[in-house]
Structure formats: C-alpha cells, structure tokens
Structure 1
C-alpha cells in the first residue's frame, strides 16, 4: 500500500511571500513536491470567463463568479488529495477567505477533502508595511498606493480577511524570516511526531453544499 504524500497548505495575502516558500520546498525538501496552488489554478487551469477564479479577492465585488468558487476549490483540493494518495507530496499556496457577497464556507469544505491525509495548514503572515513595499516593486501586477495616497480598500481587506479564523498548525512571518528559514520551520513541523490538527478542526465547521 502506498504511503500518502505529505501536504502543506500555505495561506496568506498576496505578496506575503508564499510563492518563495513554495520554491524552496520544491527545491530543498526530500522527495517529489508538486505545486498545486492558486497561481497554477488561475493562470493555467481557469478559463478567462471565470478568472480570477479561486483568486477572487475579498469584498464581494464579483457575485456573478461566486457560484463557481466552491466547485473550483473542491476540484483542486480533490486533486491535492489524489496526488497525496499516490505517494506524491504537495505544496499549495492560497489566499483563503470568506469575504464574498455571502458566506461560502470554503475552507471547511476544503479541509474535509483532505480527511485522513497528512495535511498541514500554515499561516504565512506579513505586516502591511512590507506587503505595500513588495506591491510597489511589481506595479504592473499588483495594486499599490502611490506616494502618500490612501491605501486601497482591496489591500486592507486582504489583510483583514485572509487569516480568519486563524487556525493553523504553524505560522511564519516573512518580514522576519527568509523563505529558507520559513521552509525549515515547516520541515521540522511535518517531520515531527505531532499530527496536524488545524484542518481536522476546521473540517467540523458549518457545512455548506458544493
């Protein structure tokens, strides 16, 4: 019987440093690590008509897209589970939130798709000041305030919504730790004796139909 591969779910706001951690995990961790995160989904899997798909930002700005979000997430998490059951390790970065025009309860739905698998949920935190600096470095890709202009609401909403309810197996702060140091903390977690608890706990939250 194939031993399930380990699963690391990174959750945080855009520009919090998740992608850099993913790269280190794929490069340095033993075994094969498959990236099945939000960028892969939005850029290479989701048709234009449904974009930004699971990358839809907090605020309820696109209720016309929201009916598809639970199904897109469920399909992706089922793929993560399938990879694990075949013995492949998976690292996936997301910006989970429930700040849509109505509550969709997506994180508990996703947690249930990984039942009985070695799946760890890691919160990737980064202070707003560092987020803004990183956004300004990529103005063509990311919204950012210019000069002394007020910080745009979508940026603030990400900071507020993405870490609710804040139940994690581990949290890292990328303003204080390099991607390598964050990855090392994650490695110690998944190689340690304690089983993951965050996703099992979240899986018991209120159920929503998919």
Structure 2
C-alpha cells in the first residue's frame, strides 16, 4: 500500500436499490478531493457478450468480481478516492473484499430499500429481470454489520449522499470491515 492510500466508500445493496444514483451524487458533493465511482456493473459491461454455458458463465462472473475487487485496491493504493458500487449477494464476495481491502480504511454503507419499491424500480428500468432485487434483498445484507445504512426508498439519492458525506469524518474504529474480518476469522 502506498504512503497516501485513497479513501473507500463501499456501497452495498441489491440491484435497483439506488447505489449508482447515490454514487453520482457523492461525486457531486465530495468536492474536497478527486473521487471516482467504480461499479461492478461497469466491469460486467466490459465482458464479451458471447453465449456461454452456465458453468462457464458462472466462472467468468467470479473472475470478473475478483478482478473488480483487486482493481479497487490498485486504485486506492496509488491515492485515488473511490465510491464503490457492489452487490455482495454471495458470501465469498464479501470475504474476498475483506481480504483484498485489508490495508485500506473502508466506509461500508448498506443501501436498503423495501422490496415493493425495488420491484417497482426494476419494472420501470426494464433492463433487469423482474424479481432479481427481491431475491437479493436478504442475501446482500445477511452479514448484518455496516458503518452506516441509508434507506433509498425513504430518502432521495442526494439525501443519502449527504448522510454519507456527513458521516465520513466521524467513522468510528473499529470499522465494519474490521469487525467483519474478526467475526469470520477461522
């Protein structure tokens, strides 16, 4: 890790929970330094669209996620501040992030939204299969520990971003990532 590692705000929530909208608002209001929004969907969009057998596709997704996690570390290592947008719907994803991002101070933010609103947003978007967000709703938050949680069904993306900005300088130690590492340590 470099001498001047960047800060990481890590947004975790279901598909259609508003993570990308909140990230864009954060980039607008975090004007003290340069920040980058890096999202797992951005990495998915870089992958070839050729047809793959289910097992091959699953393996490609896993490599994509692992590469995404390591890119976060690489960007932070050279001093870039990051707003990360992710869906931690499988336990290995969180475990990998906890290990790969061990050297960095991470503000772990849970983006919550009730299932009825998630379903409405999916239908309006039309670019995701209906039911994915509802399926992910319990999975992404099952680890049960965040530094901060925002309700994107109750608050606008801008209001959620303002909550995160206000919390950022007041993050207590140990962080949620540190507590989670300790909780899952063998």
SS of residue paired to 1:65: helix
On the 8 A contact 1:119/1:196 being kept in 2, the answer is no
**Structural RMSD (CA):** 2.4
Tell me, in whole angstroms, the C-alpha distance in 1 between the residues paired with 2:158 and 2:133.
Answer: 26
Measured against aligned partners, the alpha-carbon deviations of 1:11-37 in whole angstroms (never above 9, x if no partner) come to 111111111101011111021111221
User: What is the CA distance between 1:172 and its match in structure 2?
Assistant: 0.4
Instruction: Write the mapping of 1:10-49 to structure 2, written as runs, cut at 5 A.
Output: 10-29=11-30, 30-43=32-45, 45-49=46-50
Tell me, in whole angstroms, the C-alpha distance in 2 between the residues paired with 1:107 and 1:160.
Answer: 14
Name the structure 1 match of 2:128.
142
TM score, norm. by length of structure 2 = 0.86
Tell me, in whole angstroms, the C-alpha distance in 2 between the residues paired with 1:81 and 1:8.
Answer: 12
Give the number of the structure whose residues are more often helix, by fraction. Answer: 2
List alignment gaps of at least 5 residues for structure 2: none
Tell me, in whole angstroms, the C-alpha distance in 2 between the residues paired with 1:172 and 1:96.
Answer: 16
Structure 1 pair 164–203 and aligned structure 2 pair: CA distance change class (3 A): same
Measured against aligned partners, the alpha-carbon deviations of 1:136-195 in whole angstroms (never above 9, x if no partner) come to 2122x1233xxxxxxx4x443112212111221111001111112111221122212523
On the 8 A contact 2:118/2:134 being kept in 1, the answer is no
Structure 1 pair 24–155 and aligned structure 2 pair: CA distance change class (3 A): closer
Instruction: Write the mapping of 1:32-181 to structure 2, written as runs, cut at 5 A.
Output: 32-43=34-45, 45-49=46-50, 62-98=54-90, 105-139=92-126, 141-144=127-130, 152=131, 154-181=132-159
**Equivalences, count:** 183
Using the TM superposition, name which of 72-81 and 10-19 deviates more: 72-81
SS of residue paired to 1:186: helix
On the 8 A contact 1:120/1:196 being kept in 2, the answer is no
SS of residue paired to 2:120: helix
Structure 1 pair 142–71 and aligned structure 2 pair: CA distance change class (3 A): closer
On the 8 A contact 2:107/2:171 being kept in 1, the answer is no
Tell me, in whole angstroms, the C-alpha distance in 2 between the residues paired with 1:28 and 1:190.
Answer: 12
SS of residue paired to 2:83: strand
TM score, norm. by length of structure 1 = 0.77
Structure 1 pair 202–49 and aligned structure 2 pair: CA distance change class (3 A): farther
